[in-house]
Amino acid sequence: MLPSQTCRRCRNAAMHHETLSDFVALLEARGELVRVKMPVSAELEITEIVNRVSKGPATQNKALLFENVTGYEMPVLINAFGSAQRMAWALHVEELEALPRNLAQLIDLRLPQNAGALLGRGLSLAGALRAVGFKPKLVRRAPCQEVVDTASPSLDVLPILTCWPQDGGPFVTLPQVVTRHPETGVRNVGMYRLQKIDSRTLMVHWQRHKGGAEHERVAREFAGAGDKSEVVPKIRDQNPKPKIPAAVVLGGDPACIWAASAPLPPDIDEYLLAGWLRGRPVEFVRCVSQPLTVPADADIVIEGYVDPSDQRPEGPFGDHTGYYTPVEHFPAFHVTAITRRRAPIYPATVVGIPPMEDYWMGKATERLFLPLLRLFLPEVVDFAMPAPGVFHNLVLVSINKRYPGHARKVLHGLWGLALLSLAKAVVVVDSWVDVQNPMEAAWQALGNVDWSRDVIIGDGPVDQLDHASYQPSFGGKIGIDATAKWPEEGYSRQWPQVARMSPEVVARVDTFWKDLGL
């Protein structure tokens, strides 16, 4: 056990929550939850209420528990992650900045001496998480199976939201979609929107850059492959159509919910990360109709299989870009069972014109993954993805500049790292610039750039939801070097100093500031 692990459990004792209902109780006790008792419709009305709350004054931005959703017995919890404070509590810390500090203690951040060491360092996170004892464990009985329906499971009992007027139908918006790699068996947990088609069918919108889509590709290859190995024919004989066992997990520990959205490498189980965040392993139970295991403390589990050969139109959907994404074909999820708690809570989120709840989920990702970014780019001081950039449109990065062209090295490095490869615009500034302050970052980006020399423009992969690119998933990208320029970079003038007050005057004014009556 690492020393930090013991401290972590002591520190989190005051916010111990295993379940979604525990988290609701915590939010209510801390004044961060509003119970909505009047009847409200799951069709559009909840979205309008949440949209006003998300964009309103901070004092009114609360988690909402709709206890009387018209036509349904289950309450709907929404905007539970809709602030920095609530997002931190969801991940079992008091502030989001604790996430990079805790992870930095877990992994070794010393600069690797060679490429082999760098590769080993990059793969060390999974081993480090396993080493501290948070490997998921199996149980025989689970709260998520207090009520089991395999005879006639129906999605109609769930208060699935229709979010925006032109949406193609109701969508499950805060799921943990569990699948396993058809070849390796490694679990993937993804947060993919699911459109309800009928009482037994969902459409799975897993984008081409996500783990679930990779499982679909491999399943297709297995189904159509020749006898190239001993494994493939056996799998093909048992499963002639490329059906993928899957489970849609709803609720449970908020750390598990958030982990489904984390952009982890394919070798790392998202629930392993959730266990580390919780300070204790995630407990699992076997599904009743599929060869999978799911978190025992979940509220609802929809079991079934994804059929890649059953491709149907999905969408439109009012997405986090603030625009509707168009209709595209995705595979169908066929329901084989629904299990749940006796008194479940249905978790949901609404995305749209920012800022909304998903911004804070992304902020948690940004904070937690800073130490991992530094594994490969140790010169990085901080990075930020501002809300208007909706994650992939803008990344601000501050660095310790050490040599000519250093900013360009970082630009290219970021475009080679996981889902940061989808970033459309990256701005690099000097170490003293606070990239968490968009005003300060914009000041540097607009004032420190000669647009004919300090810009890199090229083509590359972009998010599948990007509507501005002229081709799907491929478009233009821009990198901006907004650092102070050096003579070795061709800057022949003397770079000016920032106009700042002397420390002595600042200290002197501090002594009588309160007496000024300002």
CA–CA distances in Å: residue 20 to residues 252, 298, 346, 353, 370: 5, 8, 9, 27, 27
Work out whether strand 244-250 and strand 300-314 pair parallel, antiparallel, or are unpaired. antiparallel
Report the alpha-carbon distance of residue 168 to residue 172 in Å, rounded: 12
Burial label, 438 (beta-carbon count in 10 A; 0-12, 13-18, 19+): middle
Per-position DSSP letters for 12-76, written without gaps between them: HGGG---SHHHHHHHHHHTT-EEEE-S-B-TBTHHHHHHHHHHHS-GGG--EEEES-BTT-SS-E
Report the alpha-carbon distance of residue 204 to residue 4 in Å, rounded: 39
**Alpha carbon 274 to chain centroid, angstroms:** 12
The region, left, alpha or beta by phi > 0 then psi within -120 to 50, assigned to residue 449 is: beta
Neighbours of 254 (CB within 10 A): 29
The full set of domains in the chain, from first to last, is 3-106 (no CATH), 133-343 (2.30.110.10), 377-489 (3.40.1670.10)
pLDDT (tens digit per residue) in 428-457: 999 999 999 999 999 999 999 999 999 999
Is 319 catalytic? The answer is yes
Is the model's pLDDT at 130 over the cut of 70?
no
State both tokens at 6: 């013991």
**Alpha carbon 270 to chain centroid, angstroms:** 11
Regarding predicted confidence, which is higher, 346 or 267?
Answer: 346
Residue 426: what are its φ and ψ, rounded to 5°?
-125, 130
State both tokens at 218: 């491999």
Task: Say what the pLDDT of residue 5 is.
Answer: 42
Task: Say what the pLDDT of residue 431 is.
Answer: 96
70 close to 39: Cβ distance less than 8 angstroms = yes
Is the model's pLDDT at 66 over the cut of 80?
yes
Task: Say what the pLDDT of residue 35 is.
Answer: 98
Beta bridge partners of 190: 177
3-state SS, residue 137: strand
Q: Is the dihedral of CA 146, 151, 157, 162 positive or negative?
A: positive
Residue 173's Cβ-side half-sphere holds a number of Cα atoms within 13 Å equal to 29
182 close to 306: Cβ distance less than 8 angstroms = no
pLDDT (tens digit per residue) in 329-348: 999 999 999 999 999 999 99
3-state SS, residue 296: coil
The verdict on whether omega for the bond into residue 308 sits within 30 degrees of 0, i.e. cis, is: no
pLDDT (tens digit per residue) in 78-96: 999 999 999 999 999 999 9
- Range from 142-156, 227-241, 452-466 carrying the lowest mean pLDDT: 227-241
Neighbours of 223 (CB within 10 A): 18
Indicate the DSSP class of residue 419: G
Report the alpha-carbon distance of residue 348 to residue 358 in Å, rounded: 11
Is the model's pLDDT at 482 over the cut of 60?
yes
pLDDT (tens digit per residue) in 86-124: 999 999 999 999 999 988 888 754 444 444 444 444 445
Q: How sure is the predictor about 131, in pLDDT bands with cuts at 50, 70 and 90?
A: low
Is the model's pLDDT at 362 over the cut of 80?
yes
392 close to 424: Cβ distance less than 8 angstroms = yes
Task: Say what the pLDDT of residue 112 is.
Answer: 47
Task: Say what the pLDDT of residue 114 is.
Answer: 47
**Residue whose pair of structure tokens reads 């478009």 in the numeric block:** 475
Comparing C-alpha atoms, which of 27, 51, 49 is closest to residue 38?
Answer: 49
Q: How sure is the predictor about 284, in pLDDT bands with cuts at 50, 70 and 90?
A: very high
Is the model's pLDDT at 233 over the cut of 70?
no
383 membership: H or E segment, kind and range: strand 380-384
Task: Say what the pLDDT of residue 229 is.
Answer: 40
Report the alpha-carbon distance of residue 195 to residue 161 in Å, rounded: 10
Q: Please state, rounded to an integer, the average pLDDT across all residues of the chain.
A: 88
Task: Say what the pLDDT of residue 38 is.
Answer: 97
Is the model's pLDDT at 510 over the cut of 90?
yes
pLDDT (tens digit per residue) in 8-35: 444 444 556 789 999 999 999 999 999 9
Is the model's pLDDT at 226 over the cut of 50?
no
Q: What is the arrangement of strands in the sheet containing 425-430, beginning at the earlier edge strand?
A: 380-384, 395-399, 425-430, 474-481, 455-461
Mean pLDDT value across residues 252-274: 89
- The answer for residues whose C-beta is within 8 angstroms of residue 366's C-beta and 6 or more apart is 383, 384, 385
Report the alpha-carbon distance of residue 201 to residue 337 in Å, rounded: 12
- Range from 38-47, 223-232, 293-302, 439-448 carrying the lowest mean pLDDT: 223-232
Beta bridge partners of 476: 459
Q: How sure is the predictor about 235, in pLDDT bands with cuts at 50, 70 and 90?
A: very low
**Cα 470–308–183 angle (5° rounding)?**
105
**Residue whose pair of structure tokens reads 């990075």 in the numeric block:** 383
Q: Find the catalytic residue in 319, 454, 463, 466.
A: 319
